[in-house]
Amino acid sequence: MIKITLPDGSVREYAKGTSSLQIAQSISEGLARNVLAAKVNGATWDATRGIEQDATLQLLTWNDTLGKETMWHSSAHLMAEALEAIYPGIQFWVGPPLENGFYYDVDLNGQTLAHADFEKIEAKMMELARQNNIYIRKEISKADAISYFGDKGDGYKLDLLERLEDGNITLYSQGNFTDLCRGPHIPNTGFIKAAKILNTAGAYWKGDEKNKMLTRVYGITFPKEKDLKEYLTLLEEAKKRDHRKLGKELELFTFSEKVGMGLPLWLPKGAMLRERLIQFMQKAQTAAGYLPVATPHIAQKELYVCSGHYEKYGKDSFQPIKTPQEGEEFFLKPMNCPHHCEIYKSSPKSYKDLPVRYAEFGTVYRYEQHGELHGLTRVRGFTQDDAHLFVRPDQVKVEFCKVIDLVLHVFNALDFKEYTAQISLRDPENKSKYIGSDENWALAEQAIIESAAEKGLKTVVELGEAAFYGPKLDFMVKDALGRKWQLGTIQVDYNLPERFELEYTGSDNQKHRPVMIHRAPFGSLERFIALLIEHCGGNFPLWLAPDQFAILPISEKYNNYAQNVLNLLSSFGIRGFVDERNEKIGKKIRDNEIKKVPFMLVVGEKEEMENKVAVRAHGKGDIGAYAINDFAAYINELIESDFKQKESRE
């Protein structure tokens, strides 16, 4: 008999070889009908796999993230089976689950897969799903696996096999499809009740643009048809909120082929929005004791060799800039931190000087492949709200906690209410990817874990997600549509101070190394603004809106009065413009509603005579006539009240 410990601490005994699904059946038939996979001693297993020894057990359903991942992984195999039936000779590379759905990279061998084919693939998937085919796990020798995929003529799977060790290779089969796979999988295809092919895209084999372009087929499945309908409704809302669409409609930013792919151009309204975010952060930083610095956009190659960035990213960066001087090479700045290290080093420091906090809105440049560029979320030039703190070891935890406070201040001000702090640690099985001693890594990881606990953050731990120079705390934010975005990040770094030989004189009159903390609450302005646009659907908080009002004269006759109103309101520090177009008032109202201007001030004969404005609120309509001074006071009161309410939540 084996002992199985359940999440509530209770212990049950079962015969050796009993599966998680059988254990679920012994608890409740209803529970068993919903079990997709199981967590056995911390590892995710097939629910049908027998347990041979004492273990902890967590049964995974659709309500668990790992349950969803398992179903979507199995759905990728189901889609592959459907594709193989429709496209004879197709070959498969990899098909992982995603946060929402899954994809499979395939080589169609000259065949075409168009949008018109999606329904046919979906129908085939559901036909196969209804067969309730069992996902069967089979351990296989490397030689036999090579023989199987060799006979099938699947060179992509043979390539994967080259990197696998004999004794750790498994195949999974369902129906007429067999794949090289670690698993786990759901018990059978019958759990899949609704399927949708979302889109296709090109994807280079192994992510290398020198290799063949494969077709990446994206899909999603659900255990209920109504779940799919709700998801598709959400997708339609996401399309309406797409920052690329709204960015154009709201005249915030554009791109130019002549300037270059992935290099955004900020239009006046977008630049004003960007500038207000910068001012907001600068105000908070000044109050927290940060010192502003500025650094150039290029630096000598040797700077990044010293920092380690060249070794890790040199091949994937923009290539060196040569000068007339023989052997002299410069790089576009990919990071601000090496520059800040040199600023720290420019003058001697005492233990009394620490912490030193340098802050810069620094633009950096990183080469991204064409296919990876996406609006403002994936660009080649972006501005970080970057800061680096140089602290004594005894100050690390306190300063880290203060940075967490700053990140939460940003989230609160912009109504990001749902977030998780991801503690990103080193991969203990592959330490060669990282620089620095085990001792320093242990110290840094402990500082992050303790700080997050002290602040009461909801956290998850992810192994292998650390930066190459140190662990980090990444904030994963949920937007209004429930999608997760990685935003602010904080990193502890014991390694760059070593590389740059940074020092301070301690109270013992000896030289010591400071500890470095990297932080960027926005992450990058480009990505943050993209998220903000989609989160609020372009309806920015009143304090941040590029234009807080639009003045709409009923006819040209009232343009002068409208201009006088604009001048007076501007003197109160609120922003707007006069819509002087020769259009009917109804069209002006509709157009400014589309542009999501918070308030529209209609002016005509009556308003001019009474020195007032007729006010319309975006999405609400007429809210009455205001004297100009009263309207300015109303706007400022709304902003002040909003900030006070948010401050009370901090």
Q: Output the pLDDT for position 648.
A: 63
Express each pLDDT in 26-46 by its tens digit. 999 999 999 999 999 989 999
* Three-state DSSP class for residue 267: coil
Q: What is the DSSP letter of 94?
A: -
Which helix (H) or strand (E) element contains residue 305?
A: helix 301-307
Of 446, 447, 499, 448, the closest CA to residue 469 belongs to 499
Residue 21 confidence class, pLDDT cut points 50, 70, 90: very high
Are 579 and 592 contacting, i.e. CB atoms less than 8 angstroms apart? yes
Give the pLDDT score at 530.
95
Confidence of residue 559 (pLDDT cuts 50, 70, 90): very high
Judge whether residue 113 has pLDDT over 80.
yes
pLDDT tens string 519-552: 999 989 999 999 999 999 999 999 999 999 999 9
Distances (CA, A) of 329 to 198, 311, 312, 322, 516: 45, 15, 18, 5, 28
pLDDT band at 86 (very low <50, low <70, confident <90, very high): very high
Mean pLDDT of the chain: 92
Tens digits of per-residue pLDDT, 565-601?
Answer: 999 999 999 999 999 999 999 999 999 999 999 999 9
Annotation: CATH topology of 254-295+348-536:
BirA Bifunctional Protein; domain 2 (3.30.930)
Class of CATH domain 66-240: alpha beta
Residue 296: is the preceding peptide bond cis (ω within 30°)? no
Q: 479-497, pLDDT tens digit by residue? A: 877 888 888 889 988 889 9
Q: Looking at residues 156-169, what average pLDDT do you find?
A: 91
Checking if the pLDDT of 647 tops 70, the result is no
Domain ranges for the chain: 2-61, 66-240, 254-295+348-536, 549-649
Asked if 291 and 359 touch (Cβ cutoff 8 Å), the reply is yes
Mean pLDDT for the stretch of residues 393-407: 92
3-state secondary structure of 640: helix
Give tens-digit pLDDT for 305-323.
999 888 777 666 788 888 8
What backbone phi and psi angles, to 5 degrees, belong to 319?
-75, 160
Task: Please give the single-letter amino acid code of residue 511.
Answer: K
Q: Write the DSSP symbol of residue 117.
A: G
> Looking at the predicted structure, is the pLDDT value of residue 644 above 80?
no
Q: List the catalytic residues.
A: 337, 366, 384, 386, 388, 472, 518
Separation between Cα atoms, residue 304 and residue 316, nearest integer Å: 13
CATH architecture of the domain with residue range 549-649: 3-Layer(aba) Sandwich (3.40)
pLDDT at 35: 96
Average pLDDT over residues 294-314: 88
What mean pLDDT comes out for the span 46-59?
Answer: 95
Q: Please state which CATH number belongs to domain 2-61.
A: 3.10.20.30
Residue 240 contacts residue 537 (beta carbons within 8 Å): yes
Report the C-alpha gap between 422 and 204 in whole angstroms: 30
Beta bridge partners of 492: 517
d(CA 515, CA 494): 5
Distance CA 404, CA 126 (A): 47
Whether the pLDDT of residue 176 is over 70: the answer is yes
pLDDT confidence of residue 181: 95
pLDDT, residue 602, reads 97
Which of 77-81, 212-216, 391-395 comes out lowest in average pLDDT? 391-395
Give yes or no for a cis peptide into 184 (omega within 30° of 0).
yes
Terminal-residue alpha carbon distance, the chain: 53
Q: Nearest 5°: phi and psi at 598? A: -60, -40
Confidence of residue 641 (pLDDT cuts 50, 70, 90): confident
Please give the share of the chain, as a percent, with pLDDT higher than 90. Answer: 78
Q: How confident is the model at residue 626 (pLDDT cuts 50, 70, 90)?
A: very high
